[in-house]
Amino acid sequence: MNRFFVTTPIFYVNAKPHLGHAFTTILADAQSRFHTLMGDESYFLTGTDEHGDKIAKASEAAGQSPKEYADQISGLFRDLAPVVGAKPNQFIRTTDPDHIKTVQKVLQKVYESGDIYFGEYGGHYCFGCERFYTEKELVDGMCPDHKTKPEYIAEKNYFFRMSKYQGWLIDHINEHPEFIRPARYRNEVLSLLESGALEDLCISRPKSRLTWGIELPFDPDFVCYVWFDALLNYVSALNYPRGDKFKKFWPAANHIVAKDILKPHAVFWPTMLKAAGLQPYQSLNVHGYWLVRDTKMSKSLGNVVEPKRMVDTYGASAFRYFLLREMAFGSDASFTEEALVGRLNADLANDLGNLFNRALAMTHKYFDGKVPSPAEEFQEDAELKHLGLEAMQGFQENFAEFRTARGLESLWELVRALNKYIDQTAPWTLYKNKQMARLGTVMYVVLEHMRKVAVHLWPVMPEASVKMLEQLGMPFDLDKIVLPKEPEVWGVLESGVAVAATSNLFPRVELPEPTPPAAKEAPALEAKKSKADKAPKEPQAPAGPLENIEFTDFQKLDLRVGTVVSAEKHPDADKLLVVKVALGEAEPRQVVAGLADRFSPEDLVGKQVVVVANLAPRKLRGVQSQGMILVAKDAEVTRLLTAAGAVDDGGKVA
Ligand code: MSP
């Protein structure tokens, strides 16, 4: 049995958990569940990082002792996991006595081997990052992350001979492509390592300056640098060196972090492991930032989204789906409640929810609520099965590489194909024509595929997946699911089993009313849930009528009709398509359009569209865009704007 050890960073206890922490926890949980379904033995670790300057200062400001303060905030992080439907196997705290002993053991070992020495150092110290910066690393004299001026500190300290392992680390990264992923971060680390001599790492703080830390076993006047202490949590949690867990799960470690802490994980940690005589971890998986209006979400910037409020409003399953679907692995993503509501309505209420609602209702209407027996398979059934097989394989391959957005995109090809299959096979007509054998096959094909979709969704939406399976008359049983075989398995759903009459797992949601600015502390308004058939309009931004414009203003717009000659996914942005439109010019125009969540490239090719042809060119995520494709939309649908009949390419809209 393969072993899969997955970790989140251990979070600092200087602030309450926010959406950024929730996301890494959800991603780790989804990976842990995915590997469990794939038949691996999985172990999921999270926890809190409690020593160092940052915590000492925060506790002082709160008028508490560091330990009291850490106890309180650590509790909030411990409570975060169940709120977002995550089930870690272990929650570690760096103030746990066992962890402290392990850190001291490793320090002693590395000291005795000669890789820790005493020396003097002067450097630019950022208290936010708890690390020294070299002149070269600062941006206009400021910390690149906190945008604050670091303090120059010169003092005697202990150093870890990190420089000694530079060559080994470069070779290791080159020989193991999965060691740091996605590739852009691997390249970033390689270019950092290859750009010059790696410096040794200062791993102590004099007690005269800081007492809140783990005492060095070989010098009681110093405490351990917080990163050297924190990184060791990944092995102390497994009871290194002799614990059974350690023997089982090391080096099968798959760390998940955001790009803010790439260097400590990609450079400090593997060299520390090497110096301590331990094998390197298996993979470091680096995701981007959740941004709010183009800025990283962080407590110090005061722009945090509270995960609890999102879960209370939309439910844990839907919230998890949005985050895992929206963020392309390695890239930043913007969090807006509008985007969340849009995606929940499009993917969950319209696609998945609708599929469940109609299929269950039809099973009741045509087969008394029992799974029918399939008869002869038609060409269209085989085609759907083939598409489903590829969609599920796509899900599994992408998920295994942490590309959850692409994995879900692949699975949704099946969800959408199922709705199309229902439209095309028209069970209502088969019923009217009394073609019950064919109707039985059609409904069986749909229900069995729904079961497959529900099983695949367990890592992403555990609660909803269990309910979907229950609605299909299948109690959730982990031991019976073998995900790697699932794309090809057929006929698991037993004929004659009763299914639920209704689903209603994913009702349409509405944006909560904006909080009036005066009532800053007013409680968040609940999203109103409404029935799918009486969907209220999504609020259109901006609210209220726009100002009148003069005809001459309108004349400034150069609107043209053109034919889409090609369309493909943007290499670096999930929501964007790169579309080439023939506008009667020498070359087709390249337009980057934010349509990927509503249209697949095939939907666009060959269609005539309306383009704003004189929009100033700009680059969108690195790809040049010269114009904009117009659409018309309401709460339900987005449609391409086009002329009522064929028009020559380049034809003017006036
Ligand atoms: N204590 C260190 C980690 C030590 S691990 C041995 C630390 N803690 S932290 O509280 O600052 O957490 C940073 C991590 O929180 C990020 O790497 C990421 O996992 C998560 N995130 C915090 N803000 C985030 C965003 N805005 N977006 C995405 N993830 C975010 O660093």
Q: How confident is the model at residue 520 (pLDDT cuts 50, 70, 90)?
A: very low
List the structure tokens of 143. 């910390």
List the structure tokens of 170. 């470069």
Higher-pLDDT residue of 459 and 134 is 459
Residue 580 DSSP SS3:
strand
Whole-number Å distance, alpha carbon 323 to ligand 1 midpoint, is 16
601-615 tens-digit pLDDT: 888 888 899 999 988
pLDDT of residue 621: 86
Q: Which ligand 1 atom is at minimum distance from the Cα of 269?
A: 6
Hey, whose CA ends up nearest to atom 2 of ligand 1? 11
442-501 tens-digit pLDDT: 999 999 999 999 999 999 999 999 999 999 999 999 999 999 999 999 999 999 999 999
Q: How confident is the model at residue 534 (pLDDT cuts 50, 70, 90)?
A: very low
β-pair partners for 152:
124
pLDDT of residue 635: 63
Residue 591 DSSP SS3:
strand
576-595 tens-digit pLDDT: 999 999 898 877 899 999 99
**Inter-residue contact 481 to 502 (CB < 8 Å):** no
Whole-number Å distance, alpha carbon 257 to ligand 1 midpoint, is 7
Substitution site in 261, 272, 287, 335 for ligand 1 pocket (most atoms within 8 Å of beta carbon): 261
**Inter-residue contact 249 to 260 (CB < 8 Å):** no
Hey, whose CA ends up nearest to atom 13 of ligand 1? 11
Hey, whose CA ends up nearest to atom 7 of ligand 1? 11
Residues 6+ apart with CB under 8 A from 215: 104, 222, 223, 224
Handedness of CA 642, 646, 648, 654 (dihedral sign): negative
Strand-strand pairing, 618-620 and 333-334: unpaired
pLDDT of residue 366: 98
Q: Which ligand 1 atom is at minimum distance from the Cα of 233?
A: 6
Whole-number Å distance, alpha carbon 50 to ligand 1 midpoint, is 14
Distance CA(324)–CA(574), nearest Å, equals 12
Distance CA(218)–CA(107), nearest Å, equals 8
The Cβ of residue 371 has, within 10 Å, a number of other Cβ atoms equal to 23
Q: How confident is the model at residue 422 (pLDDT cuts 50, 70, 90)?
A: very high
Substitution site in 8, 49, 259 for ligand 1 pocket (most atoms within 8 Å of beta carbon): 49
Distance CA(94)–CA(48), nearest Å, equals 7
Q: Which ligand 1 atom is at minimum distance from the Cα of 260?
A: 17
Substitution site in 7, 14, 21 for ligand 1 pocket (most atoms within 8 Å of beta carbon): 21
Hey, whose CA ends up nearest to atom 21 of ligand 1? 20
Substitution site in 12, 260, 267 for ligand 1 pocket (most atoms within 8 Å of beta carbon): 260
Pocket of ligand 1 (CB under 6 A): 9-12, 20-21, 23-24, 49, 230-231, 233, 257-258, 260-261, 289-290, 296-298
**Inter-residue contact 579 to 591 (CB < 8 Å):** yes
Distance CA(451)–CA(357), nearest Å, equals 14
Q: Which ligand 1 atom is at minimum distance from the Cα of 12?
A: 10
pLDDT of residue 274: 98
- Look at phi and psi of residue 200 and say left if phi exceeds 0, alpha if psi is from -120 to 50, else beta: beta
Average pLDDT over residues 385-408: 98
Task: Count H helices and E strands in the chain, helices first.
Answer: 22, 27
Handedness of CA 128, 132, 134, 135 (dihedral sign): positive
Hey, whose CA ends up nearest to atom 5 of ligand 1? 9
Whole-number Å distance, alpha carbon 7 to ligand 1 midpoint, is 12
Whole-number Å distance, alpha carbon 494 to ligand 1 midpoint, is 46
List the structure tokens of 275. 């110096």
Strands (E), 331-485: 333-334
Whole-number Å distance, alpha carbon 17 to ligand 1 midpoint, is 10
Whole-number Å distance, alpha carbon 290 to ligand 1 midpoint, is 11
- The label of the residue with tokens 């299929």 reads 359
Hey, whose CA ends up nearest to atom 12 of ligand 1? 11
Strand-strand pairing, 608-612 and 628-629: antiparallel
**Inter-residue contact 612 to 628 (CB < 8 Å):** yes
Hey, whose CA ends up nearest to atom 25 of ligand 1? 20
> What share of the chain in percent tops pLDDT 90?
74
Distance CA(50)–CA(56), nearest Å, equals 9
Q: Which ligand 1 atom is at minimum distance from the Cα of 291?
A: 26
Whole-number Å distance, alpha carbon 337 to ligand 1 midpoint, is 22
Residues annotated as catalytic are 18, 21, 126, 129, 143, 146, 296, 299
Residue type, 160: F
For the chain, what is the radius of gyration of the CA atoms? 28
Residues 6+ apart with CB under 8 A from 463: 85, 315, 316, 317
Helices 183-194 and 166-175, packing angle to 10 deg: 150
Whole-number Å distance, alpha carbon 147 to ligand 1 midpoint, is 17
Q: Which of 245, 232, 347 is nearest to 5 (CA)?
A: 245
**Please, how many CA atoms are within 13 Å of residue 435, restricted to the half-sphere of its CB?**
14
Hey, whose CA ends up nearest to atom 23 of ligand 1? 20
264-278 tens-digit pLDDT: 999 999 999 999 999
Q: Which of 430, 463, 464, 466 is nearest to 446 (CA)?
A: 430
The DSSP element (H or E) to which 132 belongs, if any, is strand 131-133
DSSP output for 137-159: G-BTTB-TTT-SPPEEEEEEEEE
Q: Which ligand 1 atom is at minimum distance from the Cα of 296?
A: 26
Distance CA(627)–CA(76), nearest Å, equals 48
Q: Which of 244, 256, 253 is nearest to 278 (CA)?
A: 253
**Inter-residue contact 424 to 379 (CB < 8 Å):** no
Q: Which of 269, 290, 225 is nearest to 54 (CA)?
A: 225
357-377 tens-digit pLDDT: 999 999 999 999 999 999 999
47-56 tens-digit pLDDT: 999 999 889 9
